[in-house]
């Protein structure tokens, strides 16, 4: 049975005491079939009388009946079906009759109650209800354990008769077939195809990027915006470095793909590491930062001004006197409007609240220039709304009692259409009505600390509403757009029975709209214009089509991989270039594999065809080629073993691999033996093939010098004249010969023995060096060089490749990034000497730091310990990737460092901007004042300034400076420390007793999201904030355009850090400042140096 237990749907069977008759169909259905909130297409009741229960078949089906255009029947197992214990339960299901005759892809959504009742008294019954989407794969649904048989046959409490009396009972089914306007009601989404069902595809979630996905889909469906993004020239960009190109690519894939689209390329172009993708961010902040970035990319292109035109409106903040003709006002642009949800019934009320007028009277009168204190009206009025209006619903607010941000889940209604004309000033252009249609609803489900985001979008006038939920796109009903995202607690107008309502409410309670997108009715045809083929740039189509073809070729290659194997070929040239064990490196732990000529070969390719390919590749006649198969010997070496026979026409590459290359990897490893005299291709009888390596003591190198055939019975010493001739040395040059048996086993050979006596076989390696006297060898050893192959092979066995990188500086000519080959047995001093030699820097003035596996600094290496490289590298728990060591070029010796303190100071100058970082190495007994004096030698002070520097730390919350007195010894400053320094402004130094010096800090929307560096600022008595602002702007050196976006708030300890925003006519001097009270500058963080109290990072997009 495909059916599930009653546990899955609708709870356990209910023995019901209230007197409702099975024959009273409407009352019975109202009692036992809760309203699920869907329109009912058809309702039918079917009853089936059964007698002689105990003699019934094990499985029986009732007569067919029709409901909602579908044929149904009851499926009954009078003694339980095979999944249940036999003979003690009844199993009963609603069965879709004859599904094979139904049209392909059919489905039916039905709510049903199955009932067994007494034939004489229809108020005695057992019932269970459920609902299900009936499809071909799941065409029956119901209850395996409907009831125990003994209960049905016996009289239950409160009844006078059993349900099954005299072995007879009525089995009934109440069926409601429900309307399914979206086609996805109760869909399990197995094999669901978004593109086929809706014409749209979703975006993959990278971890916590559903907030980004919902916004991207909304922007994608704003076709004017998509068109503008496509107009940014990106032909020469790289997708992981250019936000514009990466976004174009995402949009293009959304247009053309039939699978969900990835966004990794896009987040990489933002400069995000994978961790950033797992942090949930604020959509509004993400939207602003993304649009700022795109706006700058659109400058001087066809798309310039598109964002301004689409999303930017104008509002006016004003204070107007009641009794005199005086008005102070400021006009600002806005990209979105933040509306209150708390205490507001609907969107209209939120707008009314936004433009509500406040009266300034009594003690709160307004100081009007030239008129003194006056009664005044203060408020905001809109001058224009943009064609695409982004409304941020303030679902996240600060709760003073809890001293924390909380999510507001109150009910807040919004309409499909709203007329905003009344919120515009009288002089606004009313050529077209200011009627707006709902285009998108961005929804958050969850609480403050996480949850899920999705978007509901109506892409154009004709298309229905769709839900974009990460990788899935589904049609939705109007109710799912509006009612289900208003928030609030009660569902279905309170019609759900108590037991069920609690379940539904708990689930829905935290799901509500937090951002609405409205499009002006008169602009819809422009903003959501039908997409034309020429709107997509040709260069993008071309580029992505090429990539698609490459991807398909790679996919094909992967799918056919099992038909192929890789053949790797060692040649005399690769052997000559190889410096290591064997003829090539294959699987060494600390060394990369040798780059060998590789061939992708069909496993069933005849050897003759393969050999012809090899001959062609190496430009050598086929009759001069012999191929040897390499095998893994038991001693872990990889050597040529036998050559491939030429006279077997049936031989395939796969047969060679499985029969000749025993215990071999997936690849086939071969040696290319070039036959010098094709007229005599045979290997001389009784001879063996030996490979030769030369240990060059002077250059400290070990290289292959080809191979040689020697008779087995000849003596080892017979090899010496052959080698001298090959090396073009004089015949009398004395040589020492060693056999390379395996790593760690290199043995000197006895020249008088034969090769047979020395147990030499095909593929063995003999290493030679010129014999030297003791003094010469001693001279080499005195220089720290290897004097024989045994020592050099030991080095090879212990060699490691280490990557050295500059610790603080960007890589350049002075601070290169480079690899060095060292032995694990080398110590710190040898390492620093070799690095010093590479950098042309005194080794004693180098300091090294080990790294974590992700490349970040771990610990400074102490020279005094003189550790070995093995100790420096360990512990290698992970598979060894390249070891990375960071270096610093110091001005002093490391020995001196022991008595000195290394500090970094971030210089913020006179304008509170992070200008530069300065490292210092000073005696630990120096004071902070001495540090300031040193700093003056490295930074540029204002010519007419105070010439004074303040050194400070930043408080943990990022709101204030912690200044040093100057007398502290730098050796006593706790580690780690982040030091800042700034030039003290003239204004602060010359402040008199009447002035107040306060702390100012930067934040973005929430007080806890601080960024930048706090600073000190002088507040003057009687100064209006409009004047204070001018001095503030001069103090931080921000241009007018950016400064216009700043908001200013007073953060008081007494009000639990809740910001109170300041107007131009306030005089902040009059505020009684407590020591911790500060002025906050609320603006978008463009630095990326966020110090969020909540452990959140600011969104920064770099590409």
Helices 538-559, 243-256: axis angle to 10 degrees equals 70
CB 492 within 8 A of CB 363: no
- Bridge partner residues of 916 (DSSP): 907
CB 179 within 8 A of CB 69: no
Measured distance CA(212)–CA(281) in Å, rounded: 8
Backbone angles phi, psi at 505, to 5 degrees: -60, -45
Measured distance CA(800)–CA(826) in Å, rounded: 10
Q: Which two tokens stand for residue 505?
A: 């409410």
- What is the Cβ-side half-sphere exposure of residue 374, based on CA atoms within 13 angstroms? 20
* Burial tier of 1011 (Cβ tally within 10 Å: 0-12, 13-18, 19+): buried
List 210, 221, 321, 767, catalytic entry: 210
Number of residues that this document lists for the chain = 1103
Q: Let me know if 67 is a catalytic residue.
A: no
DSSP code string of 367-412: EETTTEEE-EEEEEEEEE--SEEEEEEE-EEEETTTTEEEE-----
H helix runs in 618-676, sequence order: 653-660
Exposure letters 774-797 (e unless 16+ CB within 10 A, then b): eeeeeebeeeeebbbbeebbbbbb
Cα-based distances in Å from 362 to 322, 365, 374, 658, 1069: 13, 6, 9, 99, 20
Q: Let me know if 452 is a catalytic residue.
A: yes
Closest CA to 282 of 1094, 1014, 1057: 1094
CA angle, corner 527, sides to 524 and 530, nearest 5?
90
Contacts of 845 (CB under 8 A, 6+ apart): 889, 890, 891, 892, 893, 894
- How do 366-368 and 1059-1061 pair as beta strands? unpaired
DSSP three-state, residue 813: coil
CB 932 within 8 A of CB 974: no
List 452, 1002, 1011, 1083, catalytic entry: 452
DSSP three-state, residue 309: helix
Measured distance CA(672)–CA(618) in Å, rounded: 10
Place of tokens 């001495």: 930
- How do 1059-1061 and 1047-1051 pair as beta strands? antiparallel
CB 887 within 8 A of CB 809: no
Backbone angles phi, psi at 320, to 5 degrees: -120, 125
CB 914 within 8 A of CB 835: no
Measured distance CA(1017)–CA(995) in Å, rounded: 10
Place of tokens 């989407």: 133
Closest CA to 54 of 151, 153, 144, 146: 153
Measured distance CA(63)–CA(71) in Å, rounded: 10
Place of tokens 């009168």: 365
Q: Which two tokens stand for residue 16?
A: 């019901």
CA 402 to chain centre: 32
DSSP three-state, residue 1091: strand
Cα-based distances in Å from 945 to 911, 941, 1003: 12, 7, 28
DSSP code string of 329-379: EEEEEESEEEEE-TT-SBHHHHHHHHTPPEEE-GGG-EEETTTEEE-EEEE
Residues annotated as part of the active site: 210, 452
């Amino acid at each position: 049975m495909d059916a599930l237990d009653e546990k899955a749907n609708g709870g356990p069977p209910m023995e019901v005491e209230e007197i409702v008759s099975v024959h009273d169909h409407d009352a019975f259905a109202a009692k036992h079939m809760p309203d699920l909130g869907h329109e009912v297409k058809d309702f039918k009741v079917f009853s089936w009388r059964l007698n002689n229960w105990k003699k019934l078949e094990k499985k029986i089906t009732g007569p067919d009946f029709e409901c909602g255009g579908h044929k149904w029947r009851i499926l009954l197992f009078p003694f339980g079906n095979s999944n249940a214990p036999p003979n003690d339960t009844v199993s009963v299901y609603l069965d879709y009759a004859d599904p094979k005759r139904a049209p392909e892809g059919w489905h039916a959504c039905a709510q049903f109650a199955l009932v067994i009742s007494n034939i004489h008294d229809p108020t005695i019954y057992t019932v269970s209800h459920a609902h299900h989407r009936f499809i071909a794969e799941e065409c029956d649904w119901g209850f395996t354990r409907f009831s125990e048989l003994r209960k049905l046959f016996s009289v239950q409490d409160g009844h006078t008769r059993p349900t099954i009396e005299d072995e007879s009972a009525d089995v009934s089914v109440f069926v409601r077939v429900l309307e399914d306007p979206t086609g996805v009601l109760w869909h399990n989404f197995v094999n669901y195809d978004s593109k086929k069902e809706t014409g749209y595809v979703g975006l993959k979630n990278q971890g916590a990027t559903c907030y980004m996905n919902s916004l991207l889909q909304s922007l994608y469906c704003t076709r004017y915006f998509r068109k503008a993004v496509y107009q940014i020239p990106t032909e020469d960009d790289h997708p992981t470095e250019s936000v514009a190109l990466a976004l174009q690519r995402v949009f293009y894939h959304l247009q053309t793909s039939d699978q969900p689209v990835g966004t990794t390329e896009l987040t990489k172009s933002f400069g995000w590491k994978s961790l950033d993708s797992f942090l949930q961010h604020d959509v509004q902040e993400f939207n602003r930062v993304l649009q700022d970035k795109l706006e700058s990319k659109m400058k001087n292109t066809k798309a310039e001004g598109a964002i301004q035109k689409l999303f930017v409106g104008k509002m006016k903040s004003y204070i107007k006197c009641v009794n005199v003709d005086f008005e102070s006002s400021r006009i600002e642009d806005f990209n979105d409007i933040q509306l209150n949800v708390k205490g507001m019934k609907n969107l209209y009320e939120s707008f009314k609240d936004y433009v509500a007028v406040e009266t300034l009277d009594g003690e709160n009168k307004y100081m009007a220039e030239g008129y003194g204190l006056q009664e005044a009206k203060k408020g905001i009025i809109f001058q224009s709304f943009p064609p695409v209006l982004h409304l941020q619903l303030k679902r996240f607010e600060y709760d003073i009692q809890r001293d924390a941000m909380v999510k507001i889940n109150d009910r807040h209604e919004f309409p499909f259409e709203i007329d905003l004309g009344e919120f515009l000033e009288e002089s606004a252009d009313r050529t077209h009505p200011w009627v707006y249609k709902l285009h998108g609803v961005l929804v958050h489900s969850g609480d403050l600390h996480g949850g899920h985001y999705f978007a509901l979008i109506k892409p154009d006038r004709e298309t229905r509403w769709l839900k974009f939920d990460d990788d899935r796109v589904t049609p939705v009903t109007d109710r799912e757009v509006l009612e289900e995202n208003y928030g609030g607690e009660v569902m279905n107008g309170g019609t759900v029975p108590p037991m069920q309502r609690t379940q539904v409410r708990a689930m829905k309670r935290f799901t509500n709209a937090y951002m609405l997108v409205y499009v002006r009715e008169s602009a819809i045809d422009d903003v959501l214009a039908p997409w034309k083929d020429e709107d997509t740039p040709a260069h993008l189509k071309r580029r992505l089509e090429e990539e698609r073809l490459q991807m398909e070729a790679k996919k094909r290659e992967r799918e056919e991989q099992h038909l192929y194997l890789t053949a790797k070929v060692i040649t005399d040239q690769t052997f000559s270039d190889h410096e290591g064990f064997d003829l090539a490196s294959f699987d060494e732990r600390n060394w990369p594999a040798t780059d060998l000529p590789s061939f992708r070969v069909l496993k069933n390719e005849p050897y003759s065809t393969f050999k012809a390919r090899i001959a062609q590749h190496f430009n050598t006649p086929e009759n001069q080629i012999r191929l040897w198969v390499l095998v893994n010997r038991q001693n872990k070496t990889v050597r040529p073993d036998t050559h491939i026979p030429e006279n077997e026409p049936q031989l395939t590459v796969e047969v060679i691999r499985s029969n000749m290359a025993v215990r071999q990897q997936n690849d086939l490893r071969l040696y290319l033996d070039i036959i010098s005299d094709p007229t005599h291709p045979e290997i001389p009888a009784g001879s063996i093939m030996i490979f030769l390596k030369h240990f060059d003591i002077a250059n400290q190198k070990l290289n292959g010098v080809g191979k040689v055939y020697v008779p087995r019975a000849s003596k080892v010493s017979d090899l010496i004249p052959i080698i001298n001739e090959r090396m073009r040395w004089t015949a009398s040059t004395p040589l020492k010969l060693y056999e390379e048996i395996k790593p760690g086993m290199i043995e000197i050979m006895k020249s008088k023995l034969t090769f047979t006596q020395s147990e030499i076989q095909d593929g063995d390696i003999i290493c030679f060096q010129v014999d030297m006297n003791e003094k010469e060898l001693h001279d080499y050893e005195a220089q720290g060089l290897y004097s024989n192959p045994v020592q050099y092979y030991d080095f090879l066995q212990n060699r490691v490749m280490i990557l050295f990188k500059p610790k603080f500086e960007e890589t350049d000519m002075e601070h290169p990034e480079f690899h060095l080959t060292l032995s694990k047995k080398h110590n710190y001093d040898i390492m620093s000497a070799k690095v010093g030699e590479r950098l042309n820097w005194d080794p004693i003035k180098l300091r090294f730091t080990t790294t974590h596996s992700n490349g970040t600094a771990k610990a400074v290496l102490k020279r005094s310990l003189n550790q070995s490289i093995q100790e420096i590298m360990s512990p290698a728990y992970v598979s060894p990737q390249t070891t990375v060591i960071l270096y610093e070029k110091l001005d002093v010796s490391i020995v001196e460092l022991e008595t000195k303190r290394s500090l970094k100071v971030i210089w913020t100058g006179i304008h509170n901007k992070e200008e530069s970082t300065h490292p210092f190495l000073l005696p630990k007994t120096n004071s902070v004042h001495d540090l300031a004096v040193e700093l003056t030698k490295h930074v540029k002070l204002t010519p007419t300034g105070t010439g004074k520097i303040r050194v400070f730390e930043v408080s943990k919350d990022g709101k204030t400076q912690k200044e040093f007195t100057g007398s502290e010894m730098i050796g006593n400053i706790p580690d780690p420390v982040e030091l800042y320094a700034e030039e003290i402004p003239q204004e602060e130094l010359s402040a008199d007793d009447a002035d107040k010096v306060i702390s100012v800090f930067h934040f973005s929307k929430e007080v806890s999201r601080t960024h930048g560096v706090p600073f000190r600022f002088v507040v003057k008595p009687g100064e209006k904030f409009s004047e204070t602002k001018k001095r503030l702007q001069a103090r931080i050196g921000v241009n007018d355009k950016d400064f216009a976006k700043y908001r200013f708030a007073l953060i008081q300890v007494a009000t639990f850090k809740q910001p109170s925003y300041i107007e131009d006519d306030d005089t902040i001097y009059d505020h009684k400042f407590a020591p911790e009270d500060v002025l906050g500058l609320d603006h978008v963080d463009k630095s990326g140096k966020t110090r969020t109290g909540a452990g959140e990072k600011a969104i920064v997009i770099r590409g």
